[in-house]
Homo-oligomer: A and B are copies of this chain.
Amino acid sequence: MHSGPAPLSGLRVVEVSSFVAAPSAGLALAQLGADVIRVDPPGGGSDANRWPLARSGASLFWANLNKGKRSVAIDHRSPEGRELLLALACAPGPDAGVLLDNLVGRHRLRYEDLCERRPDVIHAHIEGHNDGSPAVDYTINAEVGVPTMTGPAETQTPVNHVLPAWDLLSGMTVAMAIVTAVLHRCRTGEGARLELSLADLALTGVGNMGWLAEADSSGRARPRQGNHMFGAFGVDFETADRRRVMVVALTGAQWRALREVTETSAVFAALQDVLGADLDDEGDRYRHRETIAAVLRPWFAQRDFGTVEQLLRAAKVLWSPYLDMAEVAHRAAGDASSGASRIDQPGIGPMLSTGRPLRWNSVTTGPVPAPVMGEHGAEVLAEVLGLSTREIGRLRDRGIVGGADCCGSPIGDLPCTI
């Protein structure tokens, strides 16, 4: 893996965050070269011990969402710590003055307070609902109807999906907004107040696919379709050796490839006369999905996975095997082109990790470790605020600033690094 270019090199972002959305925004910026300084209370914030955990007890979650950032521990709930944080966020320089946070309640940072210190500040804030009330992906997803659409057709209760999709999408949306605001500030000199609620983001998400419009015009919720893809043909099949594959015929070419490899063209030609359907039409493929699946199922059931794989690949059918996460990890670790590799994460040891998926002029960036909590406190305070070693020492003595060497770290039991 080559070290990539750094298009956001020089941009400094102060991140006061927890959980997925805001940290993933900072991660995206860091992976494009920004200097992202994550600020946590000494000892770590509410996500410091979030599962999954490594054998050492350190959080694999935290270590993967904070790769390549610098870490500063500041007790920003104290008045002095808050001043320090505001000073960091509003430090001078054309590429500084960017704050990303998802703080809630009385410790929330106000745009007006930042603006007073730096009128062209860019402040990006992620919240649950747009009235400031909290929410997490798992509650928001319930509110926007997705769990009632997910799962086997016969299911009577909601099925949560495990992927915190709205969190990840919120993070990237805010990362995009921050870069847009930096561009805007370069051009106009103006800062920006950027706010995004998970709830608004999720509602527009289901809106953008036409799901809101569909329910509004029909007055009905779409019934569950199990593993069938909506509006075309796509479903899972079991092979003779009990492996599973997901097969999709969304376009005409994909439908032709699937019929040809399974030698069912004549069957479907005859069948569509009986059905009064045009199976070249994606809607008719969807309407008759159960029949199509029933015709195709024996072909898969009669062949083991190796044969299915070889034949589908040669025929250019659109498909994938279902893998469990252990298989995904095993494959990724063994395949250099996956971009994943084991790195040495302080407090954890060898950790399978990923880098930036985007290729910029054909170059990706591989995984890098996350910092130890508080690791860069002295470095950042000296560099950004010009504090002396003595001043930093006083802040530490009074517990305003933590460090990896004095306040412990949720990333396992670590040797002192500063």
Contact = CB atoms under 8 A, between A and B. Distances in A.
Contacts of A355: 204
B200 A357 contact: yes
Nearest to A338: B203
A172 to B, nearest CB: 4
Given A204-B356, A328-B144, A46 B322 contact: no
Main secondary structure of the interface of A (DSSP, over half): mixed
A20 B229 CA distance: 14
B55 A217 contact: yes
A85 to B, nearest CB: 20
B212 A340 contact: yes
A342 interface: yes
A206 interface: yes
A51 B209 CA distance: 9
A361 interface: yes
Contacts of A330: 216
Nearest to A219: B326
Nearest to A331: B143
Contacts of A7: 180-181, 183-184, 192
A277 interface: no
A136 B173 contact: no
A19 B250 CA distance: 10
A179 interface: yes
Interface in A166-209: 168-169, 172-177, 179-184, 186-187, 192-197, 200-201, 203-209
A371 to B, nearest CB: 16
A114 interface: no
